[in-house]
Structure 1
Amino acid sequence: MEEIGVVIPHEIKAVPSARASQLRPPRITYARHYTFGVACSLIPVPVSPVPIATATRIQDSLTGMNSSDLLEEIKESDLYLRLKKLQRHVELLELQEEYIKDEQKNLKRELVRAQEEVKRIQSVPLVLGQFLEVIDRDTGIVGSTTGSNSVVRILSTIDRELLKPNTSVALHRHSNALVDILPPEADSSIALLGADEKPDVSYADIGGLDIQKQEIREAVELPLTHFDLYRQIGIDPPRGVLLYGPPGTGKTMLVKAVAHHTTASFIRVVGSEFVQKYLGEGPRMVRDTFRMARENAPSIIFIDEIDAIATKRFDAQTGADREVQRILLELLNQMDGFDQTVNIKVIMATNRADTLDPALLRPGRLDRKIEFPTPDRRQKRLIFSAITAKMNLSEEVDLEDFVSRPDKLSGAEIAAICQEAGMHAVRKNRYVILSKDLEKGYRANVKKTDTDFEFYK
């Protein structure tokens, strides 16, 4: 018969302690190895310490206890110890959680204080500057509007990737610290006309100028809408168009029609806007204009009164003249420089084409030059018909009488004649324009030219 052995503790002592829940490290106690009918020598067996109540209960129940009951009792004591250990671990985690929550509250308060400090710094009047160069992560070189360069500190909240040369920045009024980065269009007077801001002028509203309409549409609209035609033929479309002629012949009006009929972005500037107070501002505005055009391509740039900055170069004696020549050089570089695009068209208008610099007039920059002469008899008839189409004229009015007169009239003067005739009708409380109203308007505009504006001739 096979013997079954079991280890029965010979002596189990309660662990003395001030608190029942605190235990000493495990110790070695001796147990006798019993078999059924055979007693063996003492064998050292490690026994985990147990609480006093458990030890007493086990010691009291040893008498008359079989081996299976004893094993169950020992297992229960081990589970109790594991439970107490897990409870202590949970208490430790709860303490750590409370500590982390307190730290989170403190960090939030510090973040709010830092944000308030940044707002306070940015709330004072700031100075406009231009970023020039990075020294390290915390400092850089900026140029202020006063013309001087300064080494300044950079606010820690500034995105360093946005700090590029010639970027517009805001400087603190007292310390000149860089506190904000301005968008490219913040300090620029260059504006992009939106879809709802484009002029409501169509080609039908412009009387005459049939040849000029065809030439400008071929040079501006067709390359933007049907560029494949030029590619198949193997030629490059015109990059720039110059509109020149006497005042009031319809140059700006025709450009308005181009802006109305095309879907390309339209940028309008006047040549005198490039002349700024501080050195370098004018060339920077030219760069900003073409940068905006490239970002919103396809686009059209219209520079009116180009003779303000594009006159023939000479040996300048003053700083203002040299600055104007630098603006012209920047314009020449942007129109036909190293970086150029085919989906940007430049239209320029002037009354004095004879004063423009030859470098601007050469092919490659202004490929097409469109003249706007004084209207002939046929053109005057078309202009009169286009302007009076929306006017309430009397049946007695004969426009051919005014068309056949030998006086040289521009389109603006014809529009002024019709407007003055309407004002005379309003003055007389009439809703119909009579022939005598047009006659008074004609004398008020045409006859005055011979006497008051003789210095123009």
Structure 2
Amino acid sequence: MAQLRREVRSTEEALKGVQQDTPLVVGHVVEIVGEDHAVVEEETDDGSPHGYYVRVHGAVDRARLKPSATVLLHASPSHAVLEALPVDAAGEGAAAASSLLVAEGERPGVTYDDVAGCEAQKREVREAVELPLTHPELFARVGVDPPRGVLLCGPPGTGKTMLARAVAHHASAAFFRVSGAALVGKFLGEGPQMVRDVFRLAREKAPSIIFIDEVDAVAAAATSDSGADREVRRVLVELLAQMDGFDGDGRAGDGVRVIMATNRPDTLDPALLRPGRLDRRVEFPLPDRRQRRLVFRACAAGMSLDGGVDLESLAARHDRMSAAEIAAVCFEAGMRAVRGDRPVVTSEDFEEGYRAVAKRPECGAYYELSYDS
């Protein structure tokens, strides 16, 4: 009886700590053992998960206590489960990872033809991502492992994300789209768990492609030792671990390919860039004259143009415009025709649209980055 009273007092004190926002550790359920115990994992400072066999306090909602559920754990040494978070509060887990899967009917309607002026980039990405998934026997015959990952890097608006959307449209594979910023969770261990869940689900649905946009949000080289930076570091460590062990034996033979995109390749941690992880680096520079002409043609293909419109002269100008800015020129020209209640877009509309985009402070901004680093 005395032992029971002590247990009740311990539970009440623990729950009071939750109510007073006492810092707790976020963990994840691995297995339920009976009514009052569970095997859980929590993240350590180096990003690796540690497992514990712990007690589940009586006030915990058993309906939420399932494998992969996110739970609040008491601090060491007990690591007892004090609360099971709902899926929407946890923000991750199997349900959140599933939400990142782009369904067949929801895939972007962007084709390779829409990514104008990037022939070399399209060839490299298709060779490194699509070919290993559709014809793995070609690599097996030669005796080489296909690339595990591809890094798309270049200034904003040069077609990196658009090419990834085209891959999603054409690939006969499951496609996961993840934002790097979304991997940095509010709770300790939330980000690394999300990385594990995404790769686990990708392996289950192989062949599959994981696209991580703005990867610099979680893969930048360490600059300080603050709590936020340590959590970002744990996400990076987990990402590296998943890329090193796609199929459990260190070989990338499980039908999972990774595409990452960044505007700041100079800030990425060298550990991510080494061969064997991101084996292919695809540069997206600002378009040259020929590429600008192709982009103008692609953007204006569906527009009703007056016979005097000369897209070639616009492409020949020396302003450093990205593909996104060229698309903005065409949009502004079309909007001017709409405002004028005219059925066609004239050369004057394009001139006005060009000037409107060119005078923006960010237009043609060239990122002075060392893309060769």
RMSD: 3.3
Distance across 2 between alignment mates of 1:443 and 1:218: 39
Q: Secondary structure at the match of 2:259?
A: strand
Q: 1:266 — aligned with what?
A: 175
Corresponding residue for 2:104?
195
Cα distance in 2, alignment partners of residues 134 and 266 from structure 1: 29
Aligned counterpart, 2:55 = 151
Deviation at 1:227, TM superposition (A): 0.6
Pair 1:281 & 2:187 matched = no
Match of 1:367 in 2: 279
Deviations 1:390-416 (A, max 9, x none): 111011111111111111111000000
Residue equivalent to 1:329: 237
* Sequence identity (%): 54
Runs of 4+ in 1 over 4 A off after TM superposition: 129-136, 141-145, 168-171, 175-184, 187-190, 452-457
CA pair 218-440 structure 1, distance change in 2 beyond 3 A: same
For 1:10-409, what aligned pairs fall within 5 Å after superposition?
131-132=28-29, 137-141=34-38, 151-152=55-56, 164=67, 166-168=68-70, 184-188=93-97, 190-314=99-223, 316-337=224-245, 339=248, 341-342=252-253, 343-409=255-321
Change (3 A) 1:179 1:276: closer
Give the Å deviation of 1:337. Answer: 3.0
* 1:242 and 1:366 in contact (8 A); partners too: yes
Residue 449 of structure 1, CA deviation = 3.3
Question: Contact 1:139/1:151 (CA < 8 Å) preserved in 2?
Answer: yes
- 1:168: Cα distance to partner? 4.3
Q: Which amino acid aligns with 1:262?
A: A
Residue aligning to 2:13: none
Q: Say whether the 8 Å CA contact 1:267–1:302 is kept in structure 2.
A: yes
2:344 to 423, 427, 432: 432
CA distance in 2, matches of 1:135, 1:204: 51
The 8 Å contact of residues 170 and 180 in structure 1, kept in 2 or not, is answered as: no
The equivalent of 2:22 in structure 1 is none
Please name the residue that 1:444 is paired with: 356
Q: What are the Cα deviations for residues 307-356 of structure 1, in whole angstroms up to 9, with x where unaligned? A: 00101134x33211111111100000000137254210000000010110
- Mark the CA change 1:167 to 1:388 in structure 2 (over 3 Å): closer, same or farther: same
Query: Secondary structure of the residue that 2:210 maps to in structure 1?
Result: strand
How many angstroms does 1:448 deviate by?
2.8
State how far apart, in whole Å, the 2-side matches of 1:369 and 1:242 are.
5
Go from structure 1 to structure 2 and tell me whether the alpha carbon gap of 1:436 and 1:229 turns closer, same or farther (over 3 Å shift).
same
- Aligned twin of 2:328: 416
- Alignment length, in residue pairs? 317
Q: 1:440 to 1:131 in 2, by over 3 A?
A: closer
Label 1:221 to 1:189 Cα distance change in 2 as closer, same or farther (>3 A): closer
Q: Matched residues in 2 for 1:135 and 1:394: separation?
A: 70
Look up the SS of the partner of 2:216 in the other structure: helix
TM-score of the pair, normalised by structure 2: 0.76
Q: Distance in 2 between matches of 1:436 and 1:140?
A: 74
Give the match's secondary structure for 1:364: coil
Amino acid at match of 1:139: D
CA distance in 2, matches of 1:364, 1:318: 30
Q: Which 5+ residue runs of structure 1 have no aligned equivalent?
A: 1-128
- Residues 138 and 154, structure 1, Cα contact 8 Å, conserved in 2: no
Q: Which amino acid aligns with 2:34?
A: R
SS at match of 1:266: strand
Aligned partner letter, 2:153: Y
Q: Which has the larger radius of gyration?
A: 1
Alpha-carbon contact 1:154-1:178 (below 8 Å) kept:
no
CA gap 1:244/1:261 in 2 versus in 1, 3 angstroms: same
- How far the C-alpha of 1:204 sits from its partner, in A, is 1.0
**Matched residues in 2 for 1:423 and 1:268: separation?**
32
Structure 1 residues 136 and 234, CA gap change in structure 2 (3 angstroms) = closer
For residues 454 and 386 of structure 1, the distance between their equivalents in structure 2, rounded to whole angstroms, comes to: 23
Q: Which runs of 5+ in 2 are unaligned?
A: 1-25, 43-51, 74-80, 369-373
CA apart distance, 1:137: 2.0
Q: Which has the higher contact order (CA 8 A, sep 6+)?
A: 2
Q: 1:377 to 1:444 in 2, by over 3 A?
A: same
2:346 and 2:153 mapped to 1: Cα distance?
A: 36
